[in-house]
Structure 1
């Protein structure tokens, strides 16, 4: 059984000068959730089979035994030990802070993605695919097929799983370099990047990150000429003459060989049930075809699935060129597309584990 990953890019259908509030799947916006008044009592459903109200629940989503000082599981408890009940904020800054507040990796791994089905956190095997897509600012989500839970869709912006009773988180070694981007002319642009004339931007991504680390609920202010701009961390917006979306993503680091995986993590490794990667392109009929030489045919190709995988392993954000019957094409791993360099026609590609 294969596991297939597809990523969704961020769309910019709204005007850059008038960006509306993003809403959660339950219809409530982040700002609305912040205003809710909650009880100081633990939620009995959260401590039972699970609370359906989630962020709308007025009770604390926290271990009731921890509040009494008698939780026998300690830091291994599958329920939250945060006395705020996870209600610091439902905004983007709080979600980013929650990801960085987990335990740090000390075994040589740079990062580790995990899922929790209610029985504790378990490692996702071959999670470099998730990490590579997460490091791209335009990638909003990724969908993983053929898992023990069916198709699992992970929302990178909200750090949650759509439509399933699963939690997701990303751990790291504390050395992740975070990069800040904003939307400009419908593209994500890195703060501090040089313009077409070679001039660097007025503010560095590292300066924004330093302020964010000191206070994720504050903001960062900077000037361009006589104009003042403010990056509001809670809203992940830059305000000034125009409102722009802002995002924070890690710089991709090539993971070293994985250490031994514990038995507790074995159940989740079926997320990538296969072990052999196969690269495919989407044909005109919508069917998927493996990259092969196909010598002597009209689709004779200069590369194979194995050669693509070798290039991909060197850098999952890179690209490579190849020819089919003398026509040149480009594979873009970040966008997961194949582009005809003469006609600019684009096809989707994918990496399947079989």
Structure 2
């Protein structure tokens, strides 16, 4: 009898600890930061690559964990009640039908006893460890969990297929990868980090702007057409130079005077005008196409980038980078000019106001 109780008692403790192992494995691998695991991989920490692999295979990992927890719980009930019944039968030997009464009493007692230790050692303690030391726990449990997943792969695949079938009845897709944060969640995380002192306020604002930048259309950051400084393409270079110096612009839109200022046909760079004026002053060049005094903007203007007013600012930045441009004309759905946007406008949407020497 003693050997029977000892064996069953050890089995109960092993099952409770095994349950705690699965609980800690699930919580640690799900809660540990992917960025931290990438750092551990770079540092060649043993087990870190396996943790990353398990995080990328949650559709195998989570069912295996649930299978382990369920098996431990069922086995606890199966083993625990006979142990308690045997103890009570020994104490109640003097009562008629002691065997029956022992089992009647053993059910609630075993339930209460096992539940207490199951919750304490199989749930609360493992969860606390997994939350406080997610990184260490994840690395420690990754190897055994990989072995368990391989051993239970047929059962895991059966459960996954069954789950997909049930979810299909409710027209709900099954999640294949680990959870990702939505833009709103990222902003909440940044705010929480700032409140806890992990991030300064300006970095929180930068993260918020980075998350929101693709939701902002170009029309919200552009200079309206009414405020655009532009020049007609038939203007003489010398006249244009004086006006550009007065306005202190590095790039100026050029329009067709026959159709009006809203018909932008190109852009002229102040550096091109300055170079021409310098060449004229130094007399180091001669123009074969026309005398310098008759050279006009249409002969030195460059192609202008045109973007729709609905274009997200992030896409605008990418286009500026790909096309190597710093200025674009903004048009509406009918192709009419509604404004002008520069790469500085787009960058300011991300990092805040940037003042140059002309803003002071």
Q: Given the two structures, how large is their TM-score scaled by the length of structure 1?
A: 0.19
- Which structure has more helix as a fraction of its residues? 2
Q: Which has the higher contact order (CA 8 A, sep 6+)?
A: 1
Q: Which has the greater radius of gyration?
A: 2
